[in-house]
């Protein structure tokens, strides 16, 4: 399924459907394909927006979790979005958390899946090996429980990124920023209903990370999906969508909509 990428000023984004806004934030190696099943399911009931995060466009000083959060804030302002359900995977979850801590007023609920912000395993101390396709393929496969989920298209995208020196520098800057920006002492300030959906076989942000998020975010609910790695919305889309649908339905009931 191909979606039109809209351009509005400096923002490039997908927008499908109508209803309460559901904003999706991708991770460090996130591609639009990560969210295809999710968009297709929720565009029937939500206004689904996926901003392309400027992972490689910001100057090095602002290539950070904080810099991406400022971009997201400007995007929500530009689109005049309120009552937002903000969903983030991996680094996108980290950006979502920083955003809701700084600008809670537009956010109705938070959904995290494989989020950084407390602890994450990187690509390893030898990352990145430029020019070694098999190495990149193996590392990309580690994102998933089922290695076959790492399609050739996905591996090619990661390989292309790590073979461009300017992009590698930005990736390393973002990864270091995520490690430095630990949110452990701030998460108790989050008041929005929060849903945590985690792969039971996630090796990048392992299950103990999800339990710690659950402990630190007041009133959050946690669900694990078996035979699933770091990107549940890709690897187990049906279960992911069912959990998210139930959560969003509950927010409507609780707010009297």
Whether the CB-CB separation of 149 and 213 falls below 8 Å is answered with: no
Which tens digits make up the pLDDT trace of 124-177?
A: 444 456 678 998 899 889 999 999 999 998 899 888 888 898 988 998 899 899
The band of 256, judged by pLDDT with boundaries at 50, 70 and 90, is low
Whether the CB-CB separation of 50 and 32 falls below 8 Å is answered with: yes
Residue 6: what pLDDT? 94
How far, in Å, are 81, 222, 255 from residue 109 at the CA level?
Answer: 13, 14, 11
pLDDT above 50 for 123: no
CATH superfamily, domain 6-254, is Alpha/Beta hydrolase fold, catalytic domain (3.40.50.1820)
Residue 125: what pLDDT? 41
Residue 194: what pLDDT? 98
Residue 130: what pLDDT? 64
Residue percentage of the chain with pLDDT more than 70: 94
How far, in Å, are 15, 59, 102, 228, 257 from residue 70 at the CA level?
Answer: 20, 13, 10, 31, 30
Where is average pLDDT lowest: 38-52, 149-163, 211-225? Answer: 149-163
Higher pLDDT, 106 or 2: 106
Q: Is the pTM of this model over 0.75?
A: yes
The band of 201, judged by pLDDT with boundaries at 50, 70 and 90, is very high
* Averaged pLDDT score across all residues of the chain: 92
Residue 129: what pLDDT? 60
Residue 2: what pLDDT? 78
pLDDT above 80 for 1: no
Mean pLDDT of the region 62-87: 97
Domain ranges of the chain: 6-254
pLDDT above 80 for 185: yes
pLDDT above 80 for 32: no
pLDDT above 60 for 71: yes
Where is average pLDDT lowest: 16-20, 30-34, 37-41, 167-171? Answer: 30-34
């Amino acid at each position: 399924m191909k979606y039109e990428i809209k351009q509005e000023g400096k923002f490039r984004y997908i927008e499908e459907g109508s209803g309460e806004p559901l904003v999706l934030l991708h991770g460090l190696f996130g591609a639009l394909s990560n969210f295809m099943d999710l968009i297709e399911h929720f565009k029937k009931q939500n206004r689904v927006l996926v901003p392309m995060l400027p992972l490689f466009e910001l100057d090095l000083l602002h290539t950070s979790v904080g810099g991406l959060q400022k971009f997201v804030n400007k995007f929500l302002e530009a689109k005049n979005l309120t009552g937002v359900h903000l969903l983030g995977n991996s680094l996108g979850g980290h950006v979502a958390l920083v955003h809701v801590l700084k600008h809670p007023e537009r956010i109705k609920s938070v959904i995290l899946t494989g989020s950084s912000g407390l602890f994450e395993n990187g690509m390893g101390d030898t990352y990145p090996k430029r020019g070694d396709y098999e190495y990149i393929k193996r590392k990309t496969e580690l994102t998933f429980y089922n290695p076959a989920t790492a399609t050739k298209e996905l591996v090619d995208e990661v390989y292309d990124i790590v073979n461009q020196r300017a992009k590698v520098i930005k990736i390393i800057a973002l990864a270091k920023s995520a490690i430095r920006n630990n949110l452990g002492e701030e998460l108790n300030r989050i008041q929005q209903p929060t849903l945590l959906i985690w792969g039971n076989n996630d090796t990048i942000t392992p299950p103990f990370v999800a339990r710690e998020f659950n402990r630190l975010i007041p009133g959050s609910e946690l669900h694990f999906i078996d035979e699933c790695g770091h990107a549940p919305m890709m690897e187990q889309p049906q279960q992911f969508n069912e959990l998210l649908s139930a959560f969003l339905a509950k927010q409507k009931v609780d707010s009297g909509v």
